[in-house]
Structure 1
């Protein structure tokens, strides 16, 4: 039945695509595309392919978009066409449709000239291009024939040899030139070389110099299809462009408004190496707040790096919404610059209310309300204080059992200083402000009829960016204390009857104390790249120093306590690798590998429940319910059906891999086809969970799922829906774990047992 429907849909699409030409007027032909033929056997294949792609990208107009040869957007345009300027049909037509591109819109002569000019700019000075159309009854395409001729190569590059400081500075960059003897002449490379020279001169004090001040003279009259390039300063270059500038005075305006027309230099108050100008008597911020943002000093030779880094630090200083920077020469004949930073404050205090909704695959529906209050200049040093109050509820609205609802209330205080708070000086002069963070929080978790948990947490540490790709996070101390209260007999009886250690771990008293370090590398913001990477690695320690001092050893009966509670002792390592590959302008493949290990020792025989790994759910294996898989081949049974509890399977080791294809379907709609695989394991086995320990056969215990999804990207957020189902169940007997042959979308029983719907915000990775 389903196969027949799929075949019918495919046939309908094909017929629909073919029928788009029937709407054309007599004499009109649909433009189906273009092709460029390079007729030169001397060009290598890889160079020819790159050149062909470059030339093809210049041609206009583009033909109607197609998917697998089907012009779906054009078909939608015709089917929803209306003369009305509003309404649902008009919206469909303009949002998802695309008007026909006709061959009459193609200007062969103009395109040929564009291609010829491009070839000449690439060093093919004798290039010739012609174009023609090849048509059928209702369609036509364009074909361009290019005769590049010989490629002119660079024979020599000469830099200025004058004694002027500007000539000397340019000549000093010659060893870094991107122009290479033997390379093809390329106008784009010459333009890039001018930008390179300009960037280097900006580091040497030439504030007013511009790339347009450089000329590259090309002599192509020599024999052998070669050119000589002479890099020089244009004779008409202004005197100020030739001058090296130094910094004179620096002024910071922390309460600037767009209405201000005066510089108020009479109100300037010197502090260290810069001046702070306040119009009012009451200071809006302490002058010391800028000592980590003003990176230039009087007497310094101007350089663009310090200029940009200072500006970037001001922009990221919390109290300000706008930052304007200006450099003024002291007088017309001076080689000194006064520097001005005009800072427009935003509201110091703000309050925000967030209301969130969520569902999970255990038939629980929840809401959460967050109340966030911020003070962006708490102690007049650009400190950010965030106070958060939150409350949430997860209610089981269907299923065989109800009443085991989850309620949470709590609060958190986070104070962030825009600098390192340390007993010694830590120098930081890149574009990014380092931060010191102090966090304190409390959460009360109540599972009605089961238990209540009081959770206290705190941390103190640092976060800083090494550069645009690398971020470090070092917490000198993390403290978590979880104290269970009001554990009911019902829950204790369930632990005994199910013989499930995971249920006991939930109500264990937990005390963790220790440092952590995290490192992130990413170039995903560099959208021009075909391949991008993301890596996050973390190491967390608890009780290590105190355990060493006290000689804690649970296995030897030496259980040690801190403040009357046994402390957790472990090492935890986490790795998150991601790789993204663009398969086209509107499609990509995303992959992820997660590897984590937690090793309890000394004062602990098991990892604390809050620090263990789990798998499944909307951001993990989407064909399985959250926390329902593992450890290993162990199966706890359908806990939801038997006792109404959420599944709580956790482990000490986690291995997970994901791959997802993400095509763009419409303007705000992206599709997804995914496969997830992974599992969790215990470091040490126990009789209550057979098959849970990590061993040589771990690959046989991998769970696998597949599915499809939609992503609605409305810029502010991405709403994600995924529908997944298992294709390998590790708890089944070895040899029966692959369940591909049991997939039956037509069976209501199979769908109820296997289909998992996930609704979430943002991409899974």
Structure 2
């Protein structure tokens, strides 16, 4: 034992030395690898991310406290081309032998191959070069620290910096900041030369971000400059710029206070060879000209067609292709109005929302005919997109059900269909795929096929019999969409035909808010092959077949001792009609009845006609913003209109005692759900992401359950990653069905994402949630939500994920484990599924939320 301990200790010491040496492999002898930054604020160590991020140089990124990126970079050959040439010339006859075996050109190209030069290049690009301490950069960091505290009110701060050695070719940088006392704003004075500006400023002075008594903060001054500029430019002051707002500060060091002067001088105008001052003026719009079908502004005078409509003049270099109202309705710059940046921005957004023009541009020129010199002519240049577009495409896809798929699509787009900027799209698509979740007796790889056609018509306005402009204004950029589609799904399964139709409205009530109102959403699902049910849902079949071996079964239902698919259906009927020895009180009777009820539910045809309203808010500023939240809330109601129609037709009830329409039982339910996502940016490309979801669908009236297409499932790459899709729940039932679903879902996910090195990222995650049956025809307490006690059935999945960022998309795979499995007995649920052999692999494109 003592010898083994000595060997282990020796190996550990040798490994530590090798690891230690490998980190500084590419560090020159006279340099130091930066291993640590320390910032002391008033003699206290500061670990705030926002302060540390000010430093120009940061140590190499670490994963689990190990610099994988640096190690990968160091492992790459520094000069693979030179190494290859040295290898070629190491032996006199090596080049000759290779030239006889290949050719001189191929031998030369071998030096550019992936394994010779490509792999080292990839390792360098993916890894991280050693961060070598640079004294000049450290001085810049020192200046940035001083500037940061200066901008936060510590005007007389002092920053010192020292570089210390912490081992062989390793060093750390220590920054010490003495902030001093903060300075406060004592008095505020204004100096405004133009009377027009002074008058406008006085109206909004109370909204200033610079307030007496506040601690000095540069950000407030910058925001105030932007506020003043925005306010003035939205109220006619055309020539005003941010640079016209200046500040002077007078410091009183004895009491740490400052007096602030806000200065807005007259604008400078070039006259001949000198600059003269001229007061600012308020400008009005005297003309609005619209130029269409042009390729550049230079063609604005090459017009063949023109028209005047509601104070707008529309020009065209060819015949005008649009009805005037279609264009002018999207324009907020109007004759007689004050110049406004807000109107310009709204016009650009609205014109882009028409989706028939490329990058609209707007220019303002001073109207030379106005003797007061306070008028502007607005010229709007519109370049039409192609009227017709033919778009073929092919994609490789993956999903929770389909492990691999190939889809092809042909789409035809017709813009400006009725000359009012409408867009019509007709598309056809086909898909073949592979799924291990479906029965596949012939072991065919592509065991899923689907094809369909879809037509979409989009209007850049609200299409409704009643005028809605007083409620949904054109500033909200409303659109109306009408879609209809037919798909036919031919799998080794039930096979389905699916007819869908949607008529909805979308608008933006204010910035970062979107509302969608589905006036009509119709779906008709027809199962073409219901007799194949037990070939698809093999778990249900196996359960029935095992029970059939125990209880007396009609021999005509068997073949080679096993139930036929038709015999499985007959066996269920025999059990429920007393044809076997099973009694209703027996547990196996309940299992068989449950399988029968589920089969009836999944093979039935569905007719769904619903209306829904969805609210969405997203605070994400841009693609690089990792500090935001989004919330999506939806309420959906189905079946009420169909119920009114059914009452007028008086069709006979079906075998379930429910009403039908055209011979089909229609669905009736109300559904609500909330989806909340929050991201926190910790700097250095480290992010904490959270998602919370709750959804409930309640059947009523003509329904005792929710259609499969509108129900919830749990598990999969975008849900609880410790379980495969559809394999978790409901409740504590253990996911015994092939596709488990229910009408109540709760889910919560937390994921910490961090950079490993280069474009490689990783994440630790925990997913909590489950699905339950509630307010429907399921009564088994293992499946249903039973109040607070059911929170014990919340499953916990956890694991680690690996991602590679290709810039335009992120490829990821997550290793999920069942940390808490509600299908087990209480007391035996924790960490029984945390085993490498029980890893659940989840592949996906982009982040799960």
**Other structure's SS at 1:243 match:** coil
**C-alpha displacement of 1:596:** 1.3
**C-alpha displacement of 1:421:** 0.9
1:691 aligns with 2:733: no
**Other structure's SS at 2:222 match:** helix
1:459 aligns with 2:558: no
Deviation digits for residues 724-755 of structure 1, max 9, x if unmatched? 233333333444333x246442xxxxx3xx43
For residues 673 and 524 of structure 1, what CA distance do their matches in structure 2 show? 23
1:643 maps to none
2:429 maps to 390
For residues 559 and 399 of structure 1, what CA distance do their matches in structure 2 show? 31
1:544 aligns with 2:640: yes
2:672 maps to 573
For residues 613 and 842 of structure 2, what CA distance do their matches in structure 1 show? 32
1:191 aligns with 2:290: no
2:301 maps to 263
Deviation digits for residues 272-310 of structure 1, max 9, x if unmatched? 2322110112x2322221233101211001122112111
For residues 365 and 108 of structure 1, what CA distance do their matches in structure 2 show? 51
Within a 5 Å distance, the mapping from 1:15-26 to structure 2 comes to 15-21=18-24, 23-26=26-29
Q: 2:772 pairs with 681, 692, 709, which one?
A: 681
Deviation digits for residues 176-215 of structure 1, max 9, x if unmatched? 1111112233444333322221111112110111122222
1:511 maps to 607
1:715 aligns with 2:802: no
Larger radius of gyration: 2
Contact 1:81/1:89, CA 8 A, preserved across alignment: no
TM-score by length of 1: 0.86
Rate the CA distance shift 1:591–1:687 in 2: closer, same or farther, 3 A.
Answer: closer
Deviation digits for residues 648-683 of structure 1, max 9, x if unmatched? 222121222222222222333322322223222222
**C-alpha displacement of 1:68:** 5.2
1:204 aligns with 2:296: no
For residues 387 and 15 of structure 2, what CA distance do their matches in structure 1 show? 60
1:278 aligns with 2:313: no
For residues 400 and 253 of structure 2, what CA distance do their matches in structure 1 show? 76
**C-alpha displacement of 1:460:** 1.1
Q: 1:422 pairs with 452, 455, 464, which one?
A: 464
Contact 1:160/1:168, CA 8 A, preserved across alignment: no
2:794 maps to 702
Mean Cα deviation higher: 714-723 or 79-88: 79-88
Deviation digits for residues 675-732 of structure 1, max 9, x if unmatched? 2232222225767966222213322333332233222332333323223233333333
Within a 5 Å distance, the mapping from 1:216-255 to structure 2 comes to 216-220=247-251, 224-235=255-266, 237-238=268-269, 242-255=280-293
1:157 maps to 188
**C-alpha displacement of 1:11:** 9.1
Q: 1:106 pairs with 136, 150, 153, which one?
A: 136
Q: How many residues align?
A: 736
1:320 maps to 357
Contact 1:312/1:431, CA 8 A, preserved across alignment: no
**Other structure's SS at 1:602 match:** coil
For residues 335 and 517 of structure 1, what CA distance do their matches in structure 2 show? 47
Contact 1:659/1:676, CA 8 A, preserved across alignment: yes
1:759 aligns with 2:843: yes
Contact 1:454/1:483, CA 8 A, preserved across alignment: yes
Deviation digits for residues 206-229 of structure 1, max 9, x if unmatched? 011112222223233696332221
**C-alpha displacement of 1:516:** 1.2
Contact 1:60/1:106, CA 8 A, preserved across alignment: no
Rate the CA distance shift 1:706–1:9 in 2: closer, same or farther, 3 A.
Answer: farther
**C-alpha displacement of 1:157:** 0.8
Contact 1:708/1:724, CA 8 A, preserved across alignment: yes
For residues 677 and 143 of structure 1, what CA distance do their matches in structure 2 show? 42
Rate the CA distance shift 1:592–1:192 in 2: closer, same or farther, 3 A.
Answer: closer
**C-alpha displacement of 1:518:** 1.0
Contact 1:453/1:507, CA 8 A, preserved across alignment: no
2:705 maps to 606
Mean Cα deviation higher: 303-312 or 727-736: 727-736
1:725 maps to 817
Rate the CA distance shift 1:567–1:145 in 2: closer, same or farther, 3 A.
Answer: closer
For residues 625 and 21 of structure 1, what CA distance do their matches in structure 2 show? 44
Contact 1:209/1:241, CA 8 A, preserved across alignment: no
**Other structure's SS at 2:214 match:** coil
**Other structure's SS at 1:280 match:** coil
Contact 1:322/1:345, CA 8 A, preserved across alignment: no
Rate the CA distance shift 1:154–1:53 in 2: closer, same or farther, 3 A.
Answer: farther
2:393 maps to 354
1:298 aligns with 2:335: yes
Q: 1:479 pairs with 522, 532, 538, which one?
A: 522
Contact 1:36/1:143, CA 8 A, preserved across alignment: yes
1:525 aligns with 2:621: yes
Contact 1:500/1:689, CA 8 A, preserved across alignment: no
Mean Cα deviation higher: 73-82 or 680-689: 680-689
**C-alpha displacement of 1:257:** 0.5
Deviation digits for residues 64-100 of structure 1, max 9, x if unmatched? 4444554443333333142357622442354134334
Rate the CA distance shift 1:547–1:400 in 2: closer, same or farther, 3 A.
Answer: closer
2:555 maps to none
Contact 1:617/1:624, CA 8 A, preserved across alignment: yes
1:748 maps to none
Rate the CA distance shift 1:406–1:663 in 2: closer, same or farther, 3 A.
Answer: same
For residues 686 and 125 of structure 1, what CA distance do their matches in structure 2 show? 71
For residues 347 and 13 of structure 2, what CA distance do their matches in structure 1 show? 59
Mean Cα deviation higher: 188-197 or 353-362: 353-362
Deviation digits for residues 532-583 of structure 1, max 9, x if unmatched? 2221111111122453686799899973333343322111112212222223
- RMSD, aligned α-carbons: 3.7
Contact 2:233/2:339, CA 8 A, preserved across alignment: yes
Contact 1:396/1:402, CA 8 A, preserved across alignment: no
Rate the CA distance shift 1:402–1:620 in 2: closer, same or farther, 3 A.
Answer: farther
Rate the CA distance shift 1:217–1:463 in 2: closer, same or farther, 3 A.
Answer: same
2:326 maps to 289
Rate the CA distance shift 1:709–1:625 in 2: closer, same or farther, 3 A.
Answer: same
For residues 712 and 666 of structure 2, what CA distance do their matches in structure 1 show? 19
For residues 409 and 23 of structure 1, what CA distance do their matches in structure 2 show? 57
Deviation digits for residues 566-622 of structure 1, max 9, x if unmatched? 322111112212222223331212222221111111111222222222222222222
Contact 2:190/2:262, CA 8 A, preserved across alignment: yes
Rate the CA distance shift 1:668–1:430 in 2: closer, same or farther, 3 A.
Answer: farther
Mean Cα deviation higher: 134-143 or 524-533: 524-533
Q: 2:688 pairs with 567, 578, 589, which one?
A: 589
TM-score by length of 2: 0.78
For residues 665 and 49 of structure 2, what CA distance do their matches in structure 1 show? 66
**Other structure's SS at 1:605 match:** coil
For residues 663 and 513 of structure 1, what CA distance do their matches in structure 2 show? 45
Q: 2:164 pairs with 134, 138, 155, which one?
A: 134
2:205 maps to 174
Rate the CA distance shift 1:706–1:148 in 2: closer, same or farther, 3 A.
Answer: closer
